[in-house]
Amino acid sequence: MKKIIIFDTTLRDGEQSPGASLDIKAKIEIAKQLARLGVDVIEAGFPIASKGDFSAVHEVASIIKGPSICGLARARKEDIDACNEAVRSAAKPRIHVFLATSKIHMKYKLKKAKEEILRQAGEFVKYARNFCDDVEFSPEDASRSDVDFLCRVVETVIASGAKTVNIPDTVGYSIPMEFGALINTIKTKVPNANKAVLSVHCHNDLGLAVSNSLAAVQNGAEQVECTINGLGERAGNASLEEIVMAIKTRKDLFGRFTSINTKELYKTSRLVSKLTGIVVQPNKAIVGKNAFSHEAGIHQDGILKRRATYEIMKPEDVGFGGTRLVMGKHSGKHAFRDRLKKIGVELSDDDLIKAFERFKDLADKKKEIFDEDLLAIVEDEIISVPETYKISGFEYKSGKNVEPRAVIELTKGNTVKKESSSGDGPVDACYKAIEKITGIKFNLMDYSLKSTTSGRDALGEVSVRVMSSGGIEVSGRGTSTDIVEASAKAYVNAVNKVLFTKTKKTRLEL
Ligand code: KIV
Ligand code: ZN
C-alpha cells in the first residue's frame, strides 16, 4: 500500500479563519500536538505576513522534531528570503511558493500575462532551491485555470526543482469528478509529473473539500493538505480527521494509508478548538460530540446486539470517549504532572504551578476530575495573552421577578476597580459592568456554552466571539463550575486579547 503524505496547514490556512488568530505559545502547543498526531508536514505560517508570523514559524522550526516544517511565500525574493530565514533551523525545512495561474487572478490581481507567470514561477522555484532542497509550488486557483496552461506551469516548476506540486481548489469551486479528472490529466499529460509529489489543497465553499481531496487520491494524488476541524479561509479547508479516517476506514477502496496516530485525533481537535475559540459543531464527523452517540431506540438495540450494525469506526480509534476518573483533591503535584504526561501534555515549571493551583481550586468544587477537565485547565494556562485585566471579585443576583444585577471587580496592575450594572440577564449585567470598567465596548457576535464533562458538577466552558468598535474580531474563553463566572472570564479574556492584538499584527492579503 502506498502512503498518503499528510500536510497540515492548521497554523497557516487554518489561522486565516476569521477570528482564529493564534499567538506563538498557542502555535507551539498545537505544533507539538500535530507532531504527536504524526502529520508529515506542518505549514507553520506565512513568515513575510508579520513579525508575529515570522517568529512563530521560526520557533516551530527550532522546537518541533519529526515533521517537515514549512513556510509559505509568494513568488517574490523578499517572501522567499523571509521564509528561508524562518524555516532554516528545522531538521527538515520546506519552502512553499505560490503564484496564481487562473485567468481572473492573472488579469485582475496580478495584472500579468501567461508567459510572465510561467517565467516568474520557474525563476522563484529555482531561487528557493538555492536555500532548500524541499521546495513546494502551488499554482493558486488551479481548478479555475486553463488546463493546458496549468500543465505547462507544472512542467516548468518541476523542471526548475519543485519536489512537490500542489493543486489548490482555492475557492472551493470544483466538484469531485471534475477535480479527480484534473489530477489524472496532470499525472498523464505532464511529461515530468513523476519527478514530483502531486498534492491537493481543497477549500470547502460548496462543502466538497473532503470529497474533492479523496477523488484526487483515487486519481493518484500523493499528498493531501488539510486542517484540524476543517478550519481555514472562509468555509475552511478539507478536514484532516475526515480525510484520514476515510482513507483508513475505506482502505478496501483507496488502498492507501497515512502515518497518523488516529487515537490522537479527538484530543488534537479539542486543543485546536480551545486555542482558536472556534467551537466544533456537535454533528461534525469524527470529532463532533455526537459523532458516536446513538439516539434512536432501534440503533441502540442494534449497537447492543452487534456494534458494527450502526458504527463504522470505533470511538476509541479516534481517541474519543471513555473519560476516565483520574484525580481528586488529595492528589499532589507529582501525580498531576504524571497524569498530564500520560495524556500527552508537558508544561514548563511556571505553567505547571499555575495549572496546579487551578486544579486545586477546581478539586475543592468538583469531586471527580476527568482528563477533559485537566485539558481545560491546561489549555487555559497556555494562552499567553497577558492578563491585563483579572477578575478579582464577582457577585450576581438573578431570579423570577428579580432584576438581574452583577458586581464585577477587576484588577489591572495595582489598580482595583469595581462596577455594578443591571442587564437582560446575569451574563448581560456582568458584560455591562466589565464595559464600564474597561471602557471597551464589544458587539457580541457569538456566545456558546458547553460542559467539559458530564455530571452536574462539570466545568462550564464559555466561548465568545466579539467585534470591538475598532473592528478587531477576537474570541475569548473561560471555564468555571459557575457558568456566569465562566461567561465573565470569557469576556475579560476577549478584552485582554483586544488590548494585546492592538499591538500585535497586520496581516498581508494573500
Ligand atoms: O487556497 C490556496 O490556494 C492556498 C495556497 C496558498 C496554497 O492556500
Ligand atoms: Zn488555501
The answer to whether the CB of 87 falls within 8 A of the CB of 131 is: no
C-alpha cell at 227: 486542517
The answer to whether the CB of 31 falls within 8 A of the CB of 11 is: yes
- How far is the centre of ligand 1, averaged over its atoms, from the C-alpha of 227 (Å)? 13
Residue that terminates a domain, selected from 334, 353, 381: 381
In a domain, 93, yes or no: yes
Report the pLDDT value the prediction gives residue 337, as an integer from 0 to 100.
85
Residue that terminates a domain, selected from 247, 276, 305: 276
> Any idea what the CATH number is for the domain that residue 103 is in?
3.20.20.70
> Any idea what the CATH number is for the domain that residue 439 is in?
3.30.160.270
In a domain, 509, yes or no: no
Does 421 lie in the same domain as 357?
A: no
In a domain, 285, yes or no: no
- CA–CA separation, 47 vs 34, rounded Å? 20
Q: Which residues pair with 314 in a beta bridge?
A: none
The answer to whether the CB of 167 falls within 8 A of the CB of 186 is: yes
Instruction: Among the bound ligands, name the one nearest to the CA of residue 98.
Output: 1
Q: Whose CA is nearest to atom 4 of ligand 1?
A: 170
In a domain, 120, yes or no: yes
Q: Where are the beta strands (DSSP E) in 46-193?
A: 68-74, 93-100, 135-140, 164-169
Range(s) of the domain holding residue 485? 390-503
Instruction: Among the bound ligands, name the one nearest to the CA of residue 510.
Output: 1
Q: Whose CA is nearest to atom 1 of ligand 1?
A: 170
Q: Which residues pair with 39 in a beta bridge?
A: none
Residue 65: half-sphere exposure toward Cβ, Cα within 13 Å:
0
Radius of gyration of the chain measured on its C-alpha atoms? 24
Does 134 lie in the same domain as 224?
A: yes
Does 154 lie in the same domain as 30?
A: yes
C-alpha cell at 104: 481572473
Cα 47 to Cα 44, 72, 161, 497: the distances in Å are 9, 7, 22, 22
Does 189 lie in the same domain as 43?
A: yes
- CA–CA separation, 79 vs 154, rounded Å? 21
Does 259 lie in the same domain as 338?
A: no
Give the position, in ligand 1's atom list, of the atom nearest the Cα of 72: 6
Report the pLDDT value the prediction gives residue 325, as an integer from 0 to 100.
53
Does 257 lie in the same domain as 151?
A: yes
Domains: count for the chain: 3
Residue that terminates a domain, selected from 224, 246, 276: 276
What residues contact residue 276 under an 8 Å CB cut-off, 6+ apart? 14, 15, 17, 19, 20, 22, 231, 475
Report the pLDDT value the prediction gives residue 321, as an integer from 0 to 100.
64
- CA–CA separation, 320 vs 324, rounded Å? 11
In a domain, 186, yes or no: yes
Phi, psi of 444 (to 5 degrees): -80, 110
Q: Whose CA is nearest to atom 5 of ligand 1?
A: 140
Does 425 lie in the same domain as 313?
A: no
In a domain, 283, yes or no: no
What residues contact residue 219 under an 8 Å CB cut-off, 6+ apart? 180, 181, 183, 184, 187
C-alpha cell at 376: 481545560
The answer to whether the CB of 175 falls within 8 A of the CB of 208 is: yes
Torsion of CA 67, 72, 73, 74, to 10 degrees: 140
Give the position, in ligand 1's atom list, of the atom nearest the Cα of 168: 3
pLDDT tens series, the chain, 510 aa: 999 999 999 999 999 887 777 889 999 999 999 999 999 999 999 999 999 999 999 999 999 999 999 999 999 999 999 999 999 999 999 999 999 999 999 999 999 999 999 999 999 999 999 999 999 999 999 999 999 999 999 999 999 999 999 999 999 999 999 999 999 999 999 999 999 999 999 999 999 999 999 999 999 999 999 999 999 999 999 999 999 999 999 999 999 999 999 999 999 999 999 888 888 998 999 999 888 876 677 776 787 778 888 889 988 899 986 545 567 788 888 888 887 877 667 788 888 888 888 888 888 877 777 776 777 777 666 555 678 999 999 999 999 889 999 999 999 999 999 999 999 999 999 999 999 999 998 888 889 888 876 677 778 889 888 887 777 677 788 888 899 999 999 999 989 877 876 544 333 333
What sections of 326-425 are H helices per DSSP? 333-342, 349-365, 371-381
Cα 297 to Cα 44, 57, 303, 314, 373: the distances in Å are 46, 50, 10, 20, 31
Ligand 1 site: residues with CB under 6 angstroms?
13, 72, 98, 138, 140, 166, 168, 170, 201, 203
Does 477 lie in the same domain as 341?
A: no
Report the pLDDT value the prediction gives residue 274, as an integer from 0 to 100.
86
Angle among Cα 227, 502, 11 to the nearest 5 degrees reads: 15
Torsion of CA 394, 397, 403, 407, to 10 degrees: -10
Does 148 lie in the same domain as 15?
A: yes
Contacts 24+ apart (CB under 8 A), 463-470: 463/277, 463/279, 463/490, 464/277, 464/490, 464/491, 464/494, 465/19, 465/277, 466/442, 466/491, 466/494, 466/498, 467/442, 467/443, 468/440, 468/441, 468/442, 468/443, 468/498, 469/441, 469/443, 470/498, 470/502
Residue 192: half-sphere exposure toward Cβ, Cα within 13 Å:
16
The model's pTM is: 0.76
Report the pLDDT value the prediction gives residue 151, as an integer from 0 to 100.
98
For residue 7, which amino acid is it?
Answer: F
Does 37 lie in the same domain as 178?
A: yes
Does 206 lie in the same domain as 83?
A: yes
In a domain, 282, yes or no: no
| DSSP for residue 208 | -
Give the position, in ligand 1's atom list, of the atom nearest the Cα of 13: 8
Instruction: Among the bound ligands, name the one nearest to the CA of residue 141.
Output: 1
Report the pLDDT value the prediction gives residue 464, as an integer from 0 to 100.
87
Does 226 lie in the same domain as 330?
A: no
Instruction: Among the bound ligands, name the one nearest to the CA of residue 70.
Output: 1
**Probe target for ligand 1 pocket from 72, 135, 140, with the most ligand atoms within 8 Å of CB:** 140
The answer to whether the CB of 235 falls within 8 A of the CB of 172 is: yes
In a domain, 182, yes or no: yes
**Probe target for ligand 1 pocket from 72, 145, 231, with the most ligand atoms within 8 Å of CB:** 72
